[in-house]
């Protein structure tokens, strides 16, 4: 009888230990300086954004509480490697260099440079049509660098992509080159600008974003991939995409 009680107590303890492990929060590091993927609400300071909402919904599918940890961007991979956090969700581009250190989940977004023109502008339908044109860009960005490489262009630099678009709408430029997600976010947040512009579909570059986990944690990577797949299949992914970018995700 004493042996049976001891064995039963051991089994209960093991079950409780397993339950506690299963209920442990998913610790995800982010650097909230990359709108609309992750950034802080100017009023509340809360971390928000498309990728923040996405990892939150993925955690729900995985039956895990989410614990967001705010770190400098260059501190996220070391935190994953040391086991301080479980994963990173901070606009990570999939690169061969990073793949040597961590595992990537399936990509959830393809970024790149795109063009915005004023409605009625039939002279610019893609990057090949920008030669000799006036182009507005945000200063210091990859968009600015790309514009300078186009033959015969007159490039105007602005502190924000929004200002670059307004300059074009004022008739001072033929087009704006900017990162696709930032442009989508601007148009989703400003119906007036969206009604006056056309966001052309051609993308000059392709940069895939994914979340990252330790190479020692293939199980977590697989669970996150399964959760992402579920969200795409049940429509939640598209709902989040519409919320932040004003339209469903490209198929």
Q: Measure the CA–CA gap between 48 and 105, rounded to whole angstroms.
A: 21
Question: Which residues in the chain show pLDDT less than 70?
Answer: 1-23
Neighbouring residues of 233: CB distance < 8 A, sequence distance ≥ 6? none
Amino acid 23: pLDDT: 55
Q: Measure the CA–CA gap between 44 and 25, rounded to whole angstroms.
A: 23
Structural domains present in the chain:
2-110+207-245 (3.40.190.10), 113-199 (3.40.190.10)
Q: Measure the CA–CA gap between 51 and 56, rounded to whole angstroms.
A: 8
CB 206 within 8 A of CB 110: yes
Predicted TM-score (pTM) of the model is: 0.80
> Which pair of tokens denotes residue 174?
């033929």
**Which residue do the tokens 């397993």 mark?**
18
> Which pair of tokens denotes residue 196?
């006056």
Return the closest-CA partner of residue 250 out of 159, 155, 181: 181
Q: Measure the CA–CA gap between 116 and 159, rounded to whole angstroms.
A: 17
Amino acid 16: pLDDT: 46
Strand 87-93 and strand 26-30: the pairing is: parallel
Q: In the 3-class helix/strand/coil scheme, how is 72-88 assigned residue by residue? A: CHHHHHHHHHHCCCCEE
For the chain, how long is the longest CA-to-CA vector? 91
Amino acid 4: pLDDT: 47
Amino acid 14: pLDDT: 45
Q: Measure the CA–CA gap between 105 and 229, rounded to whole angstroms.
A: 11
CB 213 within 8 A of CB 92: no
């Amino acid at each position: 009888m004493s042996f049976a009680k001891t064995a039963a107590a051991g089994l209960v303890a093991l079950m409780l230990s397993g339950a506690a492990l299963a209920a442990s929060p998913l610790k995800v590091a982010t650097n909230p300086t990359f709108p609309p993927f992750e950034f802080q609400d100017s009023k509340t300071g809360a971390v928000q954004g498309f990728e923040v909402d996405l990892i939150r919904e993925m955690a729900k599918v995985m039956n895990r509480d989410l614990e967001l940890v705010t770190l400098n961007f260059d501190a996220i991979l070391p935190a994953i490697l040391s086991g301080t956090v479980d994963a990173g969700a901070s606009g990570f581009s999939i690169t061969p260099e990073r793949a040597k250190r961590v595992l990537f989940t399936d990509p959830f977004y393809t970024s790149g440079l795109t063009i915005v023109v004023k409605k009625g502008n039939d002279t610019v339908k893609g990057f090949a049509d920008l030669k000799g044109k006036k182009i507005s860009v945000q200063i210091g960005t990859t968009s600015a660098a790309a514009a300078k490489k186009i033959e015969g262009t007159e490039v105007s630099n602005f502190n924000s992509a929004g200002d670059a678009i307004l300059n074009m709408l004022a008739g001072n430029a033929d087009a704006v080159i900017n990162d696709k997600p930032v442009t989508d976010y601007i148009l989703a947040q400003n119906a007036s600008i969206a009604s006056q512009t056309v966001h052309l579909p051609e993308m000059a570059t392709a940069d895939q974003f994914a979340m990252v986990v330790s190479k020692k944690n293939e199980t977590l990577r697989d669970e996150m991939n399964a959760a992402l797949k579920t969200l795409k299949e049940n429509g939640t992914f598209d709902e989040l995409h519409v919320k932040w970018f004003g339209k469903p995700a490209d198929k």
